Amino acid sequence: MTIWGALAGGFIGTLVLTTALRAANELKLTRIDLPFLLGTCVTANRSRAKALGYLAHFVIGELFALGYYGLFVALGTSSWWLGAIFGLVHGMFAATALVNILLPAVHPRMGTSVTSAPHTALLEPPGFLMLNYGVVTPIVGLLGHIVYGALVGGFISYTT
């Protein structure tokens, strides 16, 4: 197991996850745009928000890959299927606690159940399982995270 395998897997996994979410958005299966949500945390400029959001998403993807690497080292084993299980847990966390509790609490432009849209232009909060962005959103998000985890696990186990 090498850290380089984790970083390579994190990059490829994030690329696949981001592409899957973007494709689902373009195909009108979901309205979620994670890079845009991340980017609007730091700027109201839509174009700059997308660019910064993609950068943030890839940095976060690498950080999660390093976290997966730490778990694999602690367990003393790695594989694509164990990575897929990590991805499942990661995706469930992202679709519940992350987007329902953490993101609305720190995002300066995201609405909550207690804010009033007439006072400030707000982004719609994703809601439980990100269902506010479409009924297919949790499926696409979860499958994308499972593939991400499998890729990270596969790259780490391949570089053993």
| pTM (whole model) above 0.85 | yes
pLDDT digits (tens, 9 = 90+) for 66-101: 999 999 999 999 999 999 999 999 999 999 888 877
Summarised one tens digit per residue, pLDDT across range 20-70 is 999 999 999 999 888 988 899 888 888 899 999 999 999 999 999 999 999
* pLDDT score for 18: 95
Confidence tier at 118 by pLDDT (50, 70, 90): low
DSSP letters spanning the chain: --HHHHHHHHHHHHHHHHHHHHHHHHTTS----HHHHHHTTT-S-HHHHHHHHHHHHHHHHHHHHHHHHHHHHHHT---HHHHHHHHHHHHHHIIIIIIIIIHHHH-TTB--TT--TTTS--BPP--GGGGGG-TTHHHHHHHHHHHHHHHHHHHHHHT-
Domain-wise residue ranges, the chain: 3-158
Q: Is the pLDDT of residue 113 over 70?
A: no
- Residue 45's alpha-carbon distances to 42, 51, 105, in angstroms, are 9, 10, 21
CA distance 33 to 30: 9
Give the model's pLDDT for residue 116: 55
Q: What are phi and psi of 67, to 5 degrees?
A: -65, -45
pLDDT at 117 over 60: no
